[in-house]
Structure 1
Amino acid sequence: MNDHDTLAAMPPAGDRFVRAIDRVLIHEGGDADDPRDPGGRTRWGISQRTYPTLAIGKLTRTEAIALYRRDFWTPLQGDALPPALAFQALDAAVNHGVGRTVRWLQRLAGVRIDGQLGPVTLAALRSADEASLIERLLALRLDLYAEHDRFVAFGRGWTRRIAENLRYAARDLA
């Protein structure tokens, strides 16, 4: 993948994904190689552990965005989710995985938890109170972080991220 190929695939400027990924990259931007992080080296939030054949050190922002669209936004059906929830789901998936995020969304929507984001789940999410969904999703994330064995090392950043996401939710739902 090169910048030219991914630029051709970039969405129109008004696309919800663009706004969502810009927010995610505020938290995920840059390089990191913390020995306490089992993901190994990361760039733009893309980890060597998740993409072992990718040259992480050479990954461009544009390439990372293309990966986020393909591997996170599309499986989450971000364009079909309620608007404010779409960003929150993407951010959760980036930190916790798409599968866990889908199961959380199903739990919050009160539908059968099968890990598949299908029409029943989408309809339930669209008919639910979006503010309540977001509040409960962020609470699930905080609970998971608090139980994490690396909370001492990374908990401050994780909780800061959730606080910022609460601010985004307040603006998005206004």
Structure 2
Amino acid sequence: MAAMNKKTLFSDQDAELQKTFELGLAFVFEVEGIESDDPDDKGGLTRFGIAQNYNPDVDVARLTRDHAELRYLTNYFYPASCEDLPRPIAIAVFDASVNHGSITAVKLLQSALRVKADGLIGPVTIAAIESRNQQQLLIDFLSHRALRYHEIAAETPSQTKFIRGWMRRLFKLQHYLNNLSKGVRQ
């Protein structure tokens, strides 16, 4: 695949959406790194954050950054309805979608909002987002993610070794989003 032309992915009217995706993608690429293959990682071989065991249709060993970017947009950003969310929430949900899957990411957001957690962004979820203080919602959402990570470790003890990294990811995300809201260049 040739280098991806972002103009084909986003129309001119979608400049803000493209910016949101690019900001989220920059964070995901930063925290995911380039390649890993930890025997305890249930994802198996992982390149640019795309795990072989969760993406069996992808040859992860030969995955390019451009392919990973397209995969993130089509399999994680859009399925979590990030295009319908305010930028900071969209970036946080996108990152959660990468780590937990899009349905679980949305359910975690809905739990933080105290609305029915059905995994679908609809009018009730949107209204709840709009009625909340965005900073507090981010804190609540990240807290729900932290709890989910601890549940994963409790369910599968071999995953306990990843808790520190998962918590670091959440702190980095909060810092990243705080800086974005203040206009600090990343």
Matches within 5 A, 1:129-140: 129-140=133-144
Distance 1:156 1:105 in 2: 22
How far the C-alpha of 1:138 sits from its partner, in A, is 0.9
Say yes or no: does 1:94 pair with 2:98.
Answer: yes
Structure 2 Cα separation of the partners of residues 31 and 116 of structure 1: 31
Give me the whole-angstrom Cα distance separating, in 2, the residues matched to 1:75 and 1:152: 28
Q: What is the TM-score normalised by the length of structure 1? A: 0.89
Alignment RMSD (CA, Å): 1.9
Kept after mapping to 1: 8 A contact 2:51/2:60: yes
CA distance in structure 2 between the partners assigned to 1:114 and 1:85 by the alignment: 18
Which one-letter code corresponds to 1:17 in the other structure? F
- Contact 2:45–2:52 (Cα < 8 Å) also in 1: yes
Contact 1:131 1:173 in 2 (8 A): no
Give the Cα–Cα distance (whole angstroms) in 2 for the partners of residues 167 and 32 of structure 1: 24
User: How many residue pairs align between the two structures?
Assistant: 172
What is the distance in 2 between the residues matched to 1:53 and 1:76?
20
The corresponding residue for 1:7 is 5
Q: Is the 8 A contact 1:145 1:151 kept in 2?
A: no
Q: Per the alignment, in what secondary structure is the counterpart of residue 66 of structure 1? A: helix
Pick one of 146, 157, 162 that aligns with 1:154: 162
Letter in structure 1 aligned against 2:181 = L
1:51 partner letter: N
Alpha-carbon displacement from aligned partner over 1:85-122 (angstroms, at most 9, x marks no partner): 11111111111111111111122223222221112212
Q: Which moved more, 1:10-19 or 1:110-119?
A: 10-19
Residue 34 of structure 2 aligns with an amino acid whose one-letter code is G
In the TM superposition, what whole-angstrom CA distance separates every residue of 1:118-162 from its partner, at most 9, and x where no partner exists? Answer: 122122212211111110111111122233124542122111111
The residue aligned with 1:68 is 72
Which structure ranks higher in relative contact order (CA pairs < 8 Å, sequence separation ≥ 6)? Answer: 1
In structure 2, distance between residues paired with 1:45 and 1:109 = 28
2:78 is paired with a residue whose SS is helix
Do the aligned partners of 2:40 and 2:159 also contact (CA within 8 Å) in 1? no
Amino acid at match of 2:2: D
Name the CA distance, whole Å, in 1 between partners of 2:24 and 2:122: 21
8 Å contact kept, 2:80–2:103: no
Find runs of 4+ consecutive structure 1 residues off by over 6 angstroms: none
Deviates more, 1:131-140 or 1:101-110: 101-110
AA aligned to 2:89 is: L
Query: What is the aligned-residue identity percentage?
Result: 33
Q: Which residue of 2 aligns with 1:106?
A: 110
For 1:18-37, what aligned pairs fall within 5 Å after superposition?
18-37=22-41
